[in-house]
Structure 1
Amino acid sequence: MVQPVTWHPAADRATAETLVVEQDRNVVPLSTWVADAAATAAASDRVLQVLTQAHTRITYPLELLLAEAGAHWVVREGPERFRDGLSGFSLRWSGARFVTDLDAPPPEPVAPAPGSGDLEVQISTLHPASSSLELGSSTGAAIRALTGAEPAGWGVAEPVTQPWSPREVTAHCRQRAPSPTQVVVVGHGVLGQLRVDRVESGVLETIRLSGPAASSVAQDAVDTLVAEIAGTARSMIVAAHPGRLDGLRSPTPAPPALPYGILVGHPVLAERGIDHAQQAPASVRLVGRGTRQAAWCRLDSGGQRPYELLTAVLEHFGIVDASP
């Protein structure tokens, strides 16, 4: 039996298994209410399920939250007709939560045009723990390279409330340490998440950005970003996501982001050697100087598919996962 939820402002329905948040909007952001609903669901061993209309898009920060929380985007297609907003699989209400409808046919595969959708960038940087550490340099470098302007703002939810300030972002993360911290960052046509984790070897900073459109970003802009972060980044992956534009995810099912290139940072090259890096199964260019050289591996050349090349490059360098 579904009961109305009166103890949480964002949740419309609840069972022992789920909190359902209904949003009748054109764009659903990662609001403070939705973020708190996700935390409440996790604390009560429930799954958050965000229910929207068929035309609704969600922001990249909300998409990341759903993935990290094991939550679901449920799209209402008609009376008692639902599907997963990301995968496209049909869903049904089980009486306790929305579940995959195993009797429904699978969604038709989509073949988007190469390079369509948003450029997607993920940069991981491992810093020594220090009282002088200031976060945000990789965020600034990425947004400047891709848009030609500085980041516009940051906040704990959307819409962001603070102008961009590495000093204030650092102070916020330091105040919350050693707990992990995520903040939303925005730029011109760019949305993303900055995450900071205290790890055994230092402070891990990860920026994930979506936008601008991949077709609007010149090769020189990507090369500029590679050169600027080569001496500091642990890794960077650049891809194109056909299901997202201007940081907004369409409810139309789309395949995963198509990888374009991966930067393997200087710690790996210092361990494996330059000769080993140059033998990677991709188009490799060394960047940086001295002991801080990194390898920029392009995945858009050769006979293999980009996904296959990415897997081969990761195996070559002994990287289990490019994500933190």
Structure 2
Amino acid sequence: MTKDVIALTQRMPDPWTLLAGLLSGGPDNLVDTTGEGAVIRLCDAEGRPLVAVESPLLVQVEGEAERLLGATPPPLPYWWTEARATTGVEHAEQLAGTFAARLATLADGSAWPPEAARSLAVVQTDGVTVAPTPATAQPTVDVLTDKVAVVIQDRPVIAMTAWLSDAFRTAATAGLGLQIVTPPGTTLSPAVRDSLGNWPSRWVMRDDHDGYYDGLTGAVLRWQDGMFAPVAAAEATADDPRTPVAASYQDVSATDERQLAVTFRTVHPASDHLELGGALESLWRELTGQPPAGWGTAEPANLPWSPRHLTDLARERAPEPTWIVVVGSPDRPGLATVRVSRTKAGVEEHVTLMFGYGPDEEPPVDTLPAAAELLATRHGLQSMLVQIRKARRDLAVPPRFEGPGVPLAFVLGPEEVRQMPDDRAHHTPLTQAPVPLGPKTRPALYYPFPGDPSDLSGWQDFERLMRHLKGA
């Protein structure tokens, strides 16, 4: 069942266009606003929200509608307007589709998914009433318990939209986990996967054979004690008392596609002249020959890449942290998440970056030392880990087993090397000596690993290195 409907239009939906879309569902529904006016809600007479409409978003980055929806949008720039129907409320989904179809007609565009957007005539009415706030008003989720908030999503890629990002924040503030339920065939954006690490948050896949399973671990799930959780031991077999793994999760095939993943941290002295994003852009250029294409505070990434604008946003939000997503051009799949935070050490950037490569494409492994040296000498690099693994070129996370990455390299920044006692950073238990980067008087150190995606023994060497550097 479709819950989200999106209008992609050439023209900005002005207030009268939005009103026409809302009224196309009929005069018996009331209009309310929330989120400081950023969200319009269509409600019934009791004030229960039927459809929530996000503020239109101007998308100036190529490839985002194709990546997240598999849809063909209008030419850049275009407007992206989301409507979400409340689950379990009669006619809510039809109202959302009607709204999106009317919006697409009036603002020159299309609605996604096409089968959900049924255009109906605009219904004339004498006016619109502000909906009363019901006493039982709850966050916009489908199921709410004392342990988790559950949301049901039916779109090809579950992205970190502004709505989903707000759902994560709302759940965390309330001390709850967030569980996302999706049908078969759905994938996750890496930005969402990285936000599901805290128990009891989960990606819950519906499955014809096993009912429900965890899309990231394969564990068969049941609704119990107010949340989706692995099946009890009594449901496991006598031969194997462990939690069963769904058959669909184990249905994998060999692939020649690969992903290169880079995680790094930088720290900068806080100053009025500081510009953030330079480390990410430098690394992106070294590995692809071009800068990032766009960025935003949610998906779709809607703004052209600009370190200056990123810095302005982080400065406005300080001392609160800033989270952003960065994407590449369609011909070179790339996605990064960046968290900027103010600490005692200065301004820190924590970056997770991924690139995808097809069977006929070689990851630029040879450029890694030069890229690491650039970050170490110009961008305040503290540490960096590079991994490679066999996984999808488009970076989407499937609900099936994908092998873990293996380490290609670890880099220790010059200040961290300097602070190591007893010349520990230079003399390690690894077979291969570290490669110094930058000035001889204050080098960073590059620790290479074999990096065979089929051989996990590299993690043993990585663990030995970490124990050594920590003095264990």
Match of 2:206 in 1: 76
* Percentage of identical aligned residues: 31
Matched, 1:88 2:234: no
Match of 2:414 in 1: 266
Matched, 1:46 2:196: no
Match of 1:225 in 2: 371
One-letter code aligned to 1:307: W
List runs of 5+ in structure 1 lacking aligned partners.
none
Q: Which moved more, 1:143-152 or 1:70-79?
A: 70-79
Match of 2:275 in 1: 134
TM-score by length of 1: 0.88
Shift of 1:171: 0.9
Q: Would the alpha carbon gap of residues 114 and 309 (structure 1) be closer, same or farther in structure 2, given more than 3 Å must change?
A: farther
C-alpha distance in 1 between matches for 2:193 and 2:451: 30
Matched position secondary structure for 1:249: coil
Matched, 1:246 2:405: no
Match of 1:26 in 2: 156
Q: Paired residue for 1:295, among 434, 445, 449?
A: 445
Q: Would the alpha carbon gap of residues 85 and 245 (structure 1) be closer, same or farther in structure 2, given more than 3 Å must change?
A: farther
Shift of 1:183: 0.5
One-letter code aligned to 2:408: Y
Matched position secondary structure for 2:194: helix
Q: Would the alpha carbon gap of residues 208 and 174 (structure 1) be closer, same or farther in structure 2, given more than 3 Å must change?
A: same
Shift of 1:64: 1.4
C-alpha distance in 2 between matches for 1:61 and 1:304: 25
Q: Would the alpha carbon gap of residues 243 and 29 (structure 1) be closer, same or farther in structure 2, given more than 3 Å must change?
A: same
Q: Paired residue for 2:345, among 175, 187, 201?
A: 201
C-alpha distance in 1 between matches for 2:139 and 2:220: 28
Shift of 1:79: 7.0
TM-score by length of 2: 0.62
C-alpha distance in 2 between matches for 1:68 and 1:173: 25
Match of 1:121 in 2: 262
One-letter code aligned to 1:137: G
Matched, 1:313 2:442: no
Shift of 1:87: 0.9
Match of 2:57 in 1: none
Shift of 1:192: 1.5
C-alpha distance in 1 between matches for 2:444 and 2:302: 36
Q: Would the alpha carbon gap of residues 317 and 95 (structure 1) be closer, same or farther in structure 2, given more than 3 Å must change?
A: closer
Higher-Rg member (1/2): 2
Q: Paired residue for 2:382, among 216, 228, 234?
A: 234
Is the CA contact (8 Å cut-off) linking 1:243 and 1:252 kept in structure 2?
A: no
Match of 2:73 in 1: none
Give a deviation string over 1:66-106, Cα, whole Å, max 9, x none.
22686211111127711111111111111511001133453
Shift of 1:196: 0.9
Matched position secondary structure for 1:66: coil
Matched position secondary structure for 1:234: strand
CA RMSD of the aligned region, Å? 3.0
Shift of 1:132: 1.3
Matched position secondary structure for 2:368: helix
Give a deviation string over 1:2-61, Cα, whole Å, max 9, x none.
99897444x222222211111112111100111111111112222100111222111111
Shift of 1:304: 8.5
C-alpha distance in 1 between matches for 2:428 and 2:254: 28
C-alpha distance in 2 between matches for 1:113 and 1:316: 36
Match of 1:106 in 2: 244
Is the CA contact (8 Å cut-off) linking 1:117 and 1:245 kept in structure 2?
A: yes
Is the CA contact (8 Å cut-off) linking 1:211 and 1:247 kept in structure 2?
A: yes
Q: Which moved more, 1:245-254 or 1:162-171?
A: 245-254
One-letter code aligned to 2:450: D
Q: Would the alpha carbon gap of residues 68 and 123 (structure 1) be closer, same or farther in structure 2, given more than 3 Å must change?
A: farther
Q: Paired residue for 1:162, among 303, 318, 322?
A: 303
Shift of 1:253: 2.1
Shift of 1:113: 7.1
Shift of 1:257: 2.5
C-alpha distance in 2 between matches for 1:64 and 1:227: 27
List runs of 5+ in structure 2 lacking aligned partners.
1-86, 90-135, 237-242
Q: Would the alpha carbon gap of residues 161 and 319 (structure 1) be closer, same or farther in structure 2, given more than 3 Å must change?
A: farther
Shift of 1:285: 0.9
Q: Which protein is richer in strand relative to its size?
A: 1
Is the CA contact (8 Å cut-off) linking 1:286 and 1:295 kept in structure 2?
A: yes
Is the CA contact (8 Å cut-off) linking 2:203 and 2:215 kept in structure 1?
A: yes
Q: Would the alpha carbon gap of residues 156 and 304 (structure 1) be closer, same or farther in structure 2, given more than 3 Å must change?
A: closer
Q: Which moved more, 1:301-310 or 1:288-297?
A: 301-310
Q: Would the alpha carbon gap of residues 243 and 106 (structure 1) be closer, same or farther in structure 2, given more than 3 Å must change?
A: farther
Matched, 1:211 2:355: yes
Residues paired across the two proteins, number = 318
C-alpha distance in 1 between matches for 2:210 and 2:223: 8
Shift of 1:145: 2.0
